[in-house]
């Protein structure tokens, strides 16, 4: 069964600290994996997309990694800011007729 599991479900960190969010998937065959940030009351916004051949990709303070062998991805946030408080959703796209599979997200709260 195609699934995407994210951990932790929620996370609270102090402003300025780093954190890492995890995404494990069983989607096969694999095409790409994308991380979205969703602020409260708004639609998701794409942060980064990872294809099979990519191991690391950065977008400012956000760095995503992908291990296609173990089917794991992580999103690392450096020097967190209050504005990083949001839900982070991992989405995996399969090849061919394999559907788009969404994780349930990690709710991150950055506090002063």
Partner 1 sequence: DAGVIQSPRHEVTEMGQEVTLRCKPISGHNSLFWYRQTMMRGLELLIYFNNNVPIDDSGMPEDRFSAKMPNASFSTLKIQPSEPRDSAVYFCASSRGQPEGAFFGQGTRLTVV
Residue numbers at the binding site for partner 1 (CB under 8 A): 32, 34, 41-46, 49, 89, 91, 93, 99-100, 102-105
Shortest reach from residue 54's CB to partner 1, in Å: 14
Shortest reach from residue 40's CB to partner 1, in Å: 11
Closer to partner 1 by Cβ: residue 73 or 80: 73
Closer to partner 1 by Cβ: residue 9 or 70: 9
Q: How far apart are CA 23 and CA 103, in angstroms?
A: 8
Shortest reach from residue 47's CB to partner 1, in Å: 12
Shortest reach from residue 42's CB to partner 1, in Å: 6
Closer to partner 1 by Cβ: residue 44 or 77: 44
DSSP string across the chain: ---EEEE-SEEEEETT--EEEEEEE--SSEEEEEEEEE-TTS--EEEEEEETT--EEEETTEEEEEETTTTEEEEEE-S--GGG-EEEEEEEEESTTPPEEE---EEEEEE-
A 10 A CB-CB count for 21 gives 23
Closer to partner 1 by Cβ: residue 64 or 91: 91
């Amino acid at each position: 069964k195609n699934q995407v599991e994210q951990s932790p479900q929620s996370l609270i960190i102090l402003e300025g600290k780093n954190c890492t969010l995890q995404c494990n998937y069983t989607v096969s065959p694999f095409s790409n994996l994308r991380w979205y940030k969703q602020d409260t009351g708004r639609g998701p916004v794409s942060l980064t997309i990872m294809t099979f051949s990519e191991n690391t990709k950065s977008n400012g303070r956000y760095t995503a990694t992908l291990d296609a062998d173990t089917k794991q991805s992580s999103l690392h946030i450096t020097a967190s800011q209050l504005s990083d408080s949001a839900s982070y959703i991992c989405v995996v796209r399969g090849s061919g007729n394999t559907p788009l599979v969404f994780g349930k997200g990690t709710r991150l709260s950055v506090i002063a």
